[in-house]
Chain A
Amino acid sequence: MTPNLHLWWIPLLPLIGAAINGLFGKKFSRPAVAGVALTFCGAAFAYASYIASRFSSLAIPYSETLAHWMRAGSFQVDFAFYLDQLSLVMLLVVTGVGFLIHIYSVGYMWEEGGFYRFFSYLNLFMFFMLMLVLGSNYLVMFIGWEGVGLASYLLIGFFFLRDSAAAAGKKAFIVNRIGDFGFLIALFLMIRHFGSLDFSPVFQSVAPMSAETGAAGLLTAIALLLMVGAAGKSAQIPLYVWLPDAMEGPTPVSALIHAATMVTAGVYMISRSHVIFERAPMALTVVAVIGTLTALFAATIGITQTDIKKVLAYSTISQLGYMFLACGVAAFSAAIFHLMTHAFFKGLLFLAAGSVIHAVGGEQDMRKMGGLRKKIPWTFWTMTIGTIAIAGIPPLAGFFSKDEILWRAYQASWVYWLIGLITAFLTSFYMFRLWFLTFTGEYRGSQDAQRHDADTPAAASVPHGGHSHGVHESPMVMIVPLVILAVLSFVGGWIGIPGSLGGKNQFDKFLAPVFHASTPALNSAHTMPGETAPPEQQTEGPEPQTSRTTELIFTGISVVAALLGLGLAWLLYSFQPELPQRIADTLNGLYTTVLNKYYVDDIYAAVLVNPLLAISTNVLWHGVDQNVIDATLNNSADGARQLSDSVRHMQSGNIRSYAGWVAAGAAAVICYMVWLGVRAQ
């Protein structure tokens, strides 16, 4: 019997921190605000670590109910929490990376106004994110799901003095809500067909069902609707448009929410629902195709961006595409593996980029950087590790997780693999482009770049004021998290070294109880005769020895692709720096299209947003409300008034007129009687 773990404390701790800072933070000194925020976030991390240390002794999956929440008829939802291997990984990533980013933010935000507000929101975000990963039913997950959206809205709009930031926050929330449309309908379908939203009963109801290989049915519908929600939260085609704009927020927010944690919620949700997805092959295909396309599409935009954070934003979309690809080929543990390593290296890259921006006084345009290697050595070295890690060069973390995904993708279809490989090449290219532009060559920023921020609100995104003399390294409170994340980005992949490279793939084994427990039920009970085994059986778990050589060859190919990207970036941005402009000039139309992000935002505005607004104003409001309904009413009112007005004139007070009316009335009565008499005959 597992003791009560009181998991609910983990989300509650950051909520207490958020409440203290939110209510009283205005009166606190900055160290006190930081102290409160770090204490409660750190306590959540410590408690999560304690649970991790006892994990092997627990009966897994573990669940607990804190209180009843909603009830309507026989359907009931509780505030309940759930712990298994998958939520433990998420828990550690969220609290660990979150805590590091909290520390970093103390330094990064030190000079900003609204310090207490920032940390209150940041803690609030932790609360909702932890609800999301610990919830024991879809509705508690949905609390977190909406709540992280809210925290993201508040944090993107943190610089609410800037219109662009406020607009970006709103756009993120609304686009996410469009995704939630699908999520909600999926929930209602589950309630209707399974009578519950708790993970265990839902999955137990689903487990005996056979895969919907022939015709799409209930499970396919649920899976696709969940995918709509996931696409909104995790910035996949066609709902990715909010994420690049979200870069308006402070850089630690980009690192925490828009790289390491919140945007991976969709991947977590699909992995959590793998029992449903495994039985809906069509939905899996959709997930894989969307993931693959997003990975490639975002990567191509990434190579043209000049804003350092925008490059990382598109890179995040692209990497999330990899995770969806992995989910789509039912390689859920590979997706979670990449989710974890991505949290390390992308968190690191954003924080390092923040340190760069901090160093050059608020400049985010890479064309105005360059030569920063010597000036900010800590940032340089940590960012180098992050770049190598994301590029997929061994033995750093990104190599193992990406290679795992590509290998699984190949087993599903060589098309996925090829596009994934091209994306890997592009990833390496745009990341080293960023690296060369930022750190090598000569410093291209104008000297007044360091003081211009004081007078333009657009540069308010980074601390300034005390830092206006020259490029400088960040304080230790920012360096330490960078170093820790750099170490994790270096070694983080080693827990998942595949068999082909002499490892044991411990990560996959650790998650196996979550992802493989359901598969046997599928086989034993319902695999139809003559049907080939579903792909998930081949893709995870121990692999056949014969494929080992093939797998090594593929590993080699992806390493070569990464190195080619590095080489091309060196050629274009270090060896022949004038070449990129010539290429851009040659491919003018294509280049402009990609630079403008394929005009997707403009197309959405022209096709969806503007017509909707125009219809609302002109057709519904001015048209129906004013010109049809009200006009009809006012006309009938006018008609009634005219009628009464004309009747009113009978009462003129004029004796002769009255006499005339009497005579007319008498005449009418006589005529009527005559007519009656005529008719009677």
Chain B
Amino acid sequence: MQSHILTIILFTPLVGALVLLFIPKENKEAIRWIANIFALAGLLVSIPLVPLFWAVRAEPGFKFVEGVANNWIPSIGAGYVLGIDGISFLLIMLTTLLGWISILSSWTAIENRVKEYYIWFLVLQTGMLGVFMALDFFLFFVFWEAMLVPMYLLIGIWGGPKKLYAAIKFFLYTLFGSVLMLLAVLFLYFYNYHQTGTYTFSIEALYKTAPGIFHDPAYGATYAILLFCAFALAFAIKVPMFPFHTWLPDAHVEAPTAGSVILAGVLLKMGTYGFIRFALPFFPDVAMHPKVRGWMIALSIIGIVYGALVSLMQKDMKKLVAYSSVSHLGFCTLGIFALNGPGLSGSVLQQINHGISTGALFLIVGILYERRHTREIAEYGGISNVMPVYATITMIMFLSSMGLPLLNGFVGEFTILQGTFIENWRWAAWAIPGVVLAAAYLLWLYQRVFFGTVTNPKNEKLHDLTPRELLTFAPLVIMALWIGLYPKPFFEILETPVNQLVQTVRRPNGMMRAYDTPTHVTPEKAGAGN
């Protein structure tokens, strides 16, 4: 007995894209309506998943599994296998929500090549959902690459003045990472064959064999670490972690508003999701290796503080928000590599929070950009006089982003820091300045844009939010308050998968880790690794 709800959620946007193909491109209104209807439908079909998932939240393993291993291309062992746990469930809901909001927000922003825009956007939506649902690495990789192309086009066609540079930079960065990841997966694929005698890309099958590489005398720790690094590089670029983050500000600044919302809200989470879904369970012993973990934590902390400091000095609003994402995602990776319950739960929750808050921040920037076609902070000032409703919503989302209690950001950051503190108080202490600086760059931005008198005559006639724009913010504000006031259901959903992961990574009476012994890498093995 299989439920097909995941497939329905996955392909609803793609059906929309196919329908759009048949609409003449001159008929812009019809295209907009159809795209919005399918985006809304994509959200609506995902809503029944909420009660269904809630009922089985405490069950271990993947739920709503569709398909069996190797059913797609049996000769190479690729399967159309979908399935979710609490972590992917939350990310899927975030994706459907943000997908609808982004498409709704594009109504007046996109005027040229409308048809292609919406088609690519809907294809992107399916690609992202597929990444979170795939339980087969081949399928995962198809979606992973498939979503790269639409995003590249969204930036490259509908972007700003330096759009080509930004788009190619984005594309090459990500592609470089994924090529290494593919090589690592092929290694796991053949290793699995050697261990079990079957060729398969099934993630659950690879979960069983991949951790063994670390202890396999034929390969050992060095191989495992190198493979982990291949995965980690792909995901670190995507997150992005310092020092692989420089594509992000460019991509964001050039991307159209909706592209930025999706890029920040969902695409960056592919990186953190990849760490959680692949890098940790494939290589638990590497993740716990003090050196590897130390590096990941250090890069996270550098990202937190670095992103915040650089945000402080930006003159372009969108670039400021982009750098703040580097800082916020630093908290997410910090939580992941705390490798304990609070750290991981907080990290996933903070990924959702970041999607909500930063998604809203990009929408906020987009509202002004659409009216004035500039994002220079110096061009603005006194906006709260002319756009009071907009100013109020901005304040709420800024407060959420800077982690004010009773709003969502606080819950995530607090839980992450608590989890980190348990592991090593210094890590938390180094990360907290990011919280202080977040208040500084956001409040300073708010002061420069919203307070004071309207000094620039061009800003005098700006109109406040339209009902459609208000509608794009409403769900985000509600979610920010919900998670801030009552995060308990979210923690409950995350509890089972996170505990499972923590147990995988820290097997309580598991085998002796190689680095626990004095001679952790024997010369032969080290030589074999070269």
A interface with B by C-beta (< 8 Å): 67-73, 75, 139, 142-143, 146-147, 150, 153, 157, 160-163, 166-167, 169-170, 173-174, 177-178, 180-181, 184-185, 188-189, 191-192, 457, 612-613, 615-617, 620-621, 624-625, 629-630, 633, 637
Q: Which residues of B contact A192 (CB under 8 A)?
A: 421-422, 425
Chain A residue nearest to B310 in the complex (CB): A621
Q: Please, which residues of chain A bring their CB within 8 A of the CB of B485?
A: 69
Contact check, B488 vs A71: say whether CB atoms are below 8 A apart: yes
The residues in B between 442 and 496 inclusive whose CB is less than 8 angstroms from any CB of A are: 443-444, 446-447, 450-453, 485-488, 491
CA distance A163 to B450 in the complex (A): 11
In the complex, which residue of chain B has the Cβ closest to the Cβ of A629? B246
A185 contacts which chain B residues (CB < 8 A)?
421, 425, 428-429, 432
What's the least CB distance linking B108 to chain A, in Å?
27
Chain B residues lying within 8 Å of A67, measured Cβ to Cβ, are 486
A620 near B406 (CB under 8 angstroms)?
Answer: no
| Contact in complex: B451, A615 (CB < 8 Å) | no
Q: Which of B393-445 contact A (CB under 8 A)?
A: 399, 404-406, 410-411, 414-415, 417-419, 421-422, 425, 428-429, 432-433, 435-436, 439-440, 443-444
Which one of A150, A163, A617, A637 contacts B451 once the chains associate, using CB atoms below 8 Å?
Answer: A163
Is B342 an interface position by the 8 A CB rule? yes
A188 touches B417 (CB 8 A): yes
A619, closest chain B residue (CB):
B309
Q: Is B345's CB within 8 Å of the partner chain A? A: yes
B312: chain A residues at CB < 8 Å are 612-613, 616
Report the interface size for chain B: residues with CB under 8 A from the other chain.
54
Bound complex: CA of A629 vs CA of B169, how far in Å? 13
B90 CB to closest chain A CB (Å) equals 15
Q: What is the CA–CA distance of A66 and B408 in the complex, to the nearest angstrom? A: 19
Bound complex: CA A143 to CA B439 (Å): 16
Contact partners of A180 in chain B: CB under 8 A: 435-436
* A188, B428: Cβ atoms closer than 8 Å: yes
C-alpha spacing A625/B346, complex, angstroms: 29
A619 CB to closest chain B CB (Å) equals 9
Closest 9 CB pairs of A and B: A166-B451, A72-B342, A188-B421, A160-B451, A616-B309, A143-B405, A73-B341, A617-B313, A170-B443
Cβ of B306 within 8 Å of any chain A Cβ, yes or no, is: yes
Residues in A neighbouring B450, C-beta threshold 8 A: 160
Kindly identify which residue among A147, A174, A637 contacts B436, using a CB–CB cutoff of 8 Å.
Answer: A174
New A-B pairs, 18, CB < 8 Å, besides A70-B491, A191-B421:
A69-B485, A71-B488, A72-B345, A72-B415, A73-B345, A161-B451, A163-B451, A166-B451, A170-B440, A181-B432, A184-B432, A188-B421, A192-B425, A613-B312, A616-B310, A621-B314, A629-B243, A630-B246
Residue of B nearest to A161 (CB): B453
Using CB atoms, name the residue of chain B closest to A77: B414
Does B411 contact A70, Cβ atoms closer than 8 Å?
A: yes
Could you tell me if B433 and A181 are in contact, using CB atoms closer than 8 angstroms?
Answer: yes
What's the Cα separation between A120 and B267 when bound, in Å?
39
CB–CB B436/A153 < 8 A: no
Q: Which residues of A contact B447 (CB under 8 A)?
A: 157, 166-167, 169-170
Q: Which residues of A contact B419 (CB under 8 A)?
A: 72
B300 touches A (CB below 8 Å): no
Question: Does the CB pair A160–B452 fall under 8 Å?
Answer: yes
- Asked if B384 is at the interface of the complex by the 8 Å CB criterion, the answer is yes
Given A143-B405, A147-B405, A163-B451, verify A68-B425 contact (CB < 8 Å).
no
- Cβ contact within 8 Å between B486 and A178: no
Closest to A159 in B: B451
- CB closest residue in chain B, given A616: B309
The answer to whether A71 and B243 touch across the interface, beta carbons within 8 angstroms, is no
B interface with A by C-beta (< 8 Å)? 169, 172, 243, 246, 249, 306, 309-310, 312-314, 340-342, 345-346, 382, 384-385, 399, 404-406, 410-411, 414-415, 417-419, 421-422, 425, 428-429, 432-433, 435-436, 439-440, 443-444, 446-447, 450-453, 485-488, 491
A609 to chain B, nearest CB (A): 10
Contact check, A161 vs B488: say whether CB atoms are below 8 A apart: no
> In the complex, A160 Cα to B392 Cα: how many Å?
14
A613 pairs with B313, CB closer than 8 A: yes
A625 touching B310, Cβ below 8 Å: yes
Residues of chain B within 8 A of A142, CB atoms compared: 405
Residues of B within 8 A of A178 (CB): 436
Shortest Cβ distance from A140 into B: residue: B405
Measured CA separation A319–B341 after assembly (Å) = 45
Complex Cα gap A143–B446 (Å): 22
Report the bound CA distance from A75 to B342 in whole Å: 9
Interface centre among B399, B405, B425 (most CB of A within 10 A): B405
Chain B residue nearest to A185 in the complex (CB): B429
Give A161 to B454 CA distance when docked, in angstroms: 9
By a CB distance below 8 angstroms, the chain A residues around B446 are 170
Chain A, Cβ-Cβ closest to B165: A634
- Closest chain-B Cβ to A136's Cβ sits at a distance in Å of 15
Given the known interface contacts A71-B488, A620-B310, the answer about A147 and B404 at a Cβ–Cβ threshold of 8 Å is: yes
B425→A188 contact, CB < 8 A: yes
Kindly name the residue among A70, A143, A157 whose own CB sees the greatest number of chain B CB atoms within 10 A. A70
Q: Is the CB of B435 within 8 A of A184?
A: yes
Interface pairs (14), CB distance under 8 Å: A68-B488, A70-B488, A71-B491, A147-B405, A147-B406, A153-B443, A162-B452, A181-B435, A192-B422, A616-B312, A617-B313, A624-B306, A629-B243, A630-B246
Q: Which residues of B contact A615 (CB under 8 A)?
A: 309
- Residues from chain A with Cβ under 8 Å of B453 in the complex: 161, 457
Closest residue of chain A to B343, judged by CB?
A72
Q: Is the CB of B246 within 8 A of A620?
A: no
In the complex, chain B residues whose CB is within 8 Å of the CB of A173: 439, 443
Given contacts A185-B432, A189-B425, contact A150 B399 (CB under 8 A): yes
The interface residues of chain B lying within 8 Å CB-to-CB of A181 are: 432-433, 435-436
Question: Closest CB-CB distance, B252 to chain A, in whole Å?
Answer: 14
The answer to whether residues A177 and B486 also contact, given A146-B405, A167-B447, A617-B313 and a CB cut-off of 8 A, is no
A174 touches B440 (CB 8 A): yes
Distance in Å: Cβ of B11 to nearest Cβ of chain A: 36
With A and B bound together, what is the CA distance between A390 and B480 in angstroms?
45
Let me know if B414 and A70 touch, CB within 8 A.
Answer: yes
User: By the criterion CB–CB under 8 Å, are A170 and B432 in contact?
Assistant: no
In the complex, chain A residues whose CB is within 8 Å of the CB of B406:
143, 147
A142–B404 Cα distance when bound, in Å, is 10
- Nearest Cβ in chain A — how far from B143, in angstroms? 27
Kindly state the separation between the CA atoms of A613 and B312 in the bound complex, as whole angstroms: 8
Assembled-state Cα–Cα distance A611/B443 (Å)? 20
**Complex Cα spacing A640 to B333, Å:** 32
| Cβ–Cβ contact A184 & B417, under 8 A | yes
Question: Hey, which chain B residues are within 8 Å of A624, CB to CB?
Answer: 243, 306
- Least CB distance from A448 to B in Å reads 24
Residues of A within 8 A of B444 (CB): 170
Nearest chain A CB to B330 CB, angstrom units: 14
Check A161–B382 contact: CB distance below 8 A: yes
Query: B309–A188 contact, CB under 8 A?
Result: no
A124 → chain B closest CB, angstroms:
11
A219, chain B: closest CB distance, angstroms: 15
Cα distance, A678 to B70, chains bound together (Å): 54
Interfacial chain A residues near B433, Cβ < 8 Å: 181
- Complexed CA–CA distance, A621 and B310 (Å): 6
B169 cross-chain contacts in A, Cβ below 8 A: 633
Q: Is the CB of B313 within 8 A of A621?
A: yes
Residues of B within 8 A of A184 (CB): 414, 417, 432, 435
Closest-CB distance, B162 to chain A (whole angstroms): 13
B439 near A177 with CB under 8 A, answer yes
Residues in B whose Cβ lies below 8 Å from that of A612: 309, 312
Query: By CB atoms of chain A within 10 A, which of B341, B342, B382, B399 has the most?
Result: B342
* A163 nearest CB neighbor, chain B only: B452
A185 and B486 alpha carbons, distance in the complex (Å): 23
Task: Give complex CA distance A166, B451 in Å.
Answer: 7
Query: How far apart are the CA atoms of A612 and B440 in the complex, in Å?
Result: 12
Q: Which of A161, A162, A191 contacts B418 (CB 8 A)?
A: A191
Q: Could you say which residues of chain A place their CB within 8 Å of the CB of B345?
A: 72-73
A153 surroundings in chain B (CB, below 8 A): 443
